[in-house]
């Protein structure tokens, strides 16, 4: 579903933010992407969603190159950023309508999905309020809902559990599992290693812009916990 091949991104006169990164996320995978601060996780994610140009390599989503066919790639991808910033001057309903219109979602299907996910996240009663009145968690739930209403094949999430209450986190994990069972792929970065260890079947560890390890969870971390593995990886470099 997502194939990153030799991704390299440098900023002018600086060391590469990401160098030679390659990984493969298959349909049905919940793929965790972890690394220390400044390792290159957000740069990688921004390149995947098409917000960042890169010098070398390519990214394929559902078999289509992000360079050659960016519109198709973006139409089957849903991106949830670490800091949700939906337009505060819209109501929740207007924001969801905007996303539905941009992605060309059928109105009936859109309505069903909006009702389903807003009820699960318990924000159906605030959809007529301005987003400026929402808390951080409510904004996050709204953005997650907007990501799901166009039935994406690939979910790209940048630290999605930040600001979510325990019930909403549980709901999101459940939705991620359901989506994978339907044949989607989930690729997300997180610092919450506990969640990553329980949720993900595959993992990639990035360190200083380079891929340190990737593959099935049990193959990467072995018999130790993900937290212990991660701390070992970080300490090796210091």
Partner 1 sequence: MASNSLAAKRGVKNKTKNKVLLLVKIRIAGIFAGVKKSLKGERRDKIKLIAFSLLMLYSFGVMIYTIGSFTKAFVEVGFADVVLPMMATSGAMLMLISTVFRGGNSLFAPKDYDFVSSLPLSDSEIVISRLITQYIYEFFFVIIVFLPAVSVYAYLVSPPLIFWILIIPTILLLPCIPAFIGSLAAVIITFIASRFRHKNLGTIIIGLLFVFGAMYFSSMMGTYANSEKIAEMGEFLSAKLKYVYFPAHLLGRGLTGEILPWLAYFAISVVCVAILIFFLNKNHRKMYAYITSIKTKAGRRPVSKRTTASLSSAKTAAANVRRTSPTMALYKKEFRRYFSCPTYVLNTIHRADNGFTNRRGRILCSYGKDIRRLGSLLRLDDCQDTADSVRVCYYAFINDIVVNLS
Q: Are 158 and 82 in contact (CB under 8 A)?
A: yes
Least Å from the CB of residue 141 to partner 1 = 16
- d(Cα 150, Cα 14) in Å, to the nearest integer? 38
Q: How big, in percent rounded to 5, are the helix, strand and coil portions of the chain?
A: 40, 25, 35
Q: Does 81 bind partner 1 (CB under 8 A)?
A: yes
For partner 1, the binding residue among 97, 193, 196, 211 (CB under 8 A) is 97
- d(Cα 131, Cα 115) in Å, to the nearest integer? 18
Least Å from the CB of residue 216 to partner 1 = 28
Q: Does 51 bind partner 1 (CB under 8 A)?
A: yes
Stretch that binds partner 1, among 25-33, 68-76, 178-186, 204-212 (CB under 8 A): 68-76
Q: Does 8 bind partner 1 (CB under 8 A)?
A: no
Strands 2-10 and 16-25: antiparallel
Q: Which is nearer to partner 1, 82 or 217 (CB)?
A: 82
The pair of structure tokens assigned to 140 is 């996050």
Q: Does 37 bind partner 1 (CB under 8 A)?
A: yes
Using CB under 8 A as the binding rule, the residues of this chain from 111 to 130 that contact partner 1 are 111-112, 114-115, 127, 130
For partner 1, the binding residue among 85, 235, 236, 238 (CB under 8 A) is 85
Q: Does 68 bind partner 1 (CB under 8 A)?
A: no
User: 3-state class of 33 per DSSP?
Assistant: strand
Please list the residues that pair with 65 across neighbouring strands.
60
For partner 1, the binding residue among 2, 57, 82, 209 (CB under 8 A) is 82
Residue burial 74-102, b: 16+ Cβ < 10 Å; e: rest: bbbbbbbbbebebeeeebbbbbbbebbee
Q: Are 49 and 77 in contact (CB under 8 A)?
A: yes
For partner 1, the binding residue among 13, 223, 236, 238 (CB under 8 A) is 13
Q: Rule CB under 8 A: which residues touch partner 1?
A: 11-15, 17, 37-38, 42-43, 46, 49-53, 70-72, 74-75, 77, 79, 81-83, 85, 87-90, 93-94, 96-98, 100-104, 107-108, 110-112, 114-115, 127, 130, 132
């Amino acid at each position: 579903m997502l194939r990153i091949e030799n991704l390299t991104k440098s900023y002018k006169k600086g060391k590469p933010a990401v160098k030679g990164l390659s990984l493969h996320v298959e349909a049905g995978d919940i793929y965790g992407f972890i690394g220390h601060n400044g390792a290159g996780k957000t740069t990688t994610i921004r390149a995947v969603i098409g917000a960042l140009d890169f010098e070398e390599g390519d990214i394929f989503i559902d078999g289509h190159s992000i360079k050659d066919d960016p519109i198709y790639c973006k139409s089957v991808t849903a991106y949830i950023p670490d800091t949700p910033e939906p337009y505060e001057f819209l109501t929740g309903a207007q924001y969801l309508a905007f996303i539905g219109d941009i992605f060309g979602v059928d109105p009936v299907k859109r309505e069903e999905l909006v009702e389903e996910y807003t009820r699960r996240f318990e924000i159906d009663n605030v959809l007529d309020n301005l987003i400026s009145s929402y808390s951080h968690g409510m904004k996050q739930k709204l953005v997650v809902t907007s990501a799901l209403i166009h039935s994406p094949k690939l979910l790209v999430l940048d630290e999605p559990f930040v600001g979510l209450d325990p019930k909403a986190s549980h709901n999101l994990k459940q939705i991620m599992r359901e989506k994978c069972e339907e044949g989607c792929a989930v690729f997300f970065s997180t610092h919450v290693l506990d969640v990553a260890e329980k949720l993900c079947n595959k993992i990639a560890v990035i360190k200083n812009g380079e891929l340190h390890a990737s593959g099935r969870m049990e193959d990467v971390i072995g018999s130790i916990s993900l937290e212990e593995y991660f701390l070992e990886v970080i300490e090796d470099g210091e």
